[in-house]
Amino acid sequence: MEELTSSFAPVKRRRAFEDIIVQIENAIHEGRLTVGDRLPPERELAEIFQVSRASVREALRVLEAFGVLSARRGTGADSGSILSAQNESPLSGLLRLYASLLQMPLQDLLDVREAIEMLTARRAAERASPEDIERLEGIIESMRNSRTPEDFLTLDTEFHVTLARASGNSVAPLIMGALRDAIAHQMLRAFKALEESGGWVSERAWLIREHAQLLETVASRDPDAAAHAFSRHVHDFYQRVLAKDKPVATPGPPPTPATRARRRRPA
């Protein structure tokens, strides 16, 4: 810890709390701070950075909001700020917020989700361990035992994020989780509408069968078949379920290759 604190420098530019964040970020990037490390007490950090305790407190709040720090309240050896890696990426909250603020069309979110799904399905078919397959099978079994749309949606999200982890790509689960969170409201609203109209039971059964078939393509170690199946899953679910709902920004039908080409054509 002494080596770490000696590498920090007095704040000279930017707003004080922003410079503190940059210096802590650099310490993480260079490996001088890792998950589980505890930062010095607030008073000591203020002396190191030669700023007010209020500036230190603001920097720590921002880092905590980003999920970089876990603050333990109180006094004594167990108090203070610890480097953490929270299970839920702050990217989820940011994308969800921006999707609402900018009225992002649902179709745009689904286009990105389709691309990520195809990547993770292909990689999972190549790299998934027997434990990964067993874990995914367990999620599908939990889907069969779920009863409410809320529970089913949670398990549905868990399935796709778990598959992203099984791909071996460390970035994919963060993006997949964020995308799923960004469209969760529309999905739940569509599920509730099906429940009210009496179509939820059949749709739930269909989705369970479909997820089992998706897993089969991964377990069979066929990357192309897995990528194609997950791409079709995203398109079919939109056409069958989400297109019947009325999201904040109403999307059109999934574009065909010809439509995409026309969109790229200069006016």
Domains and CATH numbers, the chain: 2-83 (1.10.10.10), 90-259 (1.20.120.530)
Per-residue pLDDT of the chain (267 residues), as tens digits, is 566 666 676 656 568 888 898 888 888 888 888 888 889 888 899 999 999 999 999 999 888 877 788 876 545 555 678 887 655 567 777 788 778 878 889 999 999 999 999 999 999 999 999 999 999 999 999 999 998 999 999 999 999 999 999 999 999 999 999 999 999 999 999 999 999 999 999 999 999 999 999 999 999 999 999 999 999 999 999 999 988 654 433 333 444 444 444 444 443
Residues 6+ apart with CB under 8 A from 214: 121, 226, 229, 230, 233
Opening angle at CA 196, ends 155 and 189, nearest 5: 50
* CA terminus-to-terminus distance, the chain: 59
Measured CA to CA in angstroms, residue 203 lies from 3, 153, 194, 217, 226 at distances of 59, 12, 8, 21, 22
Greatest extent of the chain over all pairs of C-alpha atoms, in Å: 66
Q: Are 211 and 143 in contact (CB under 8 A)?
A: yes
pTM, full prediction:
0.69
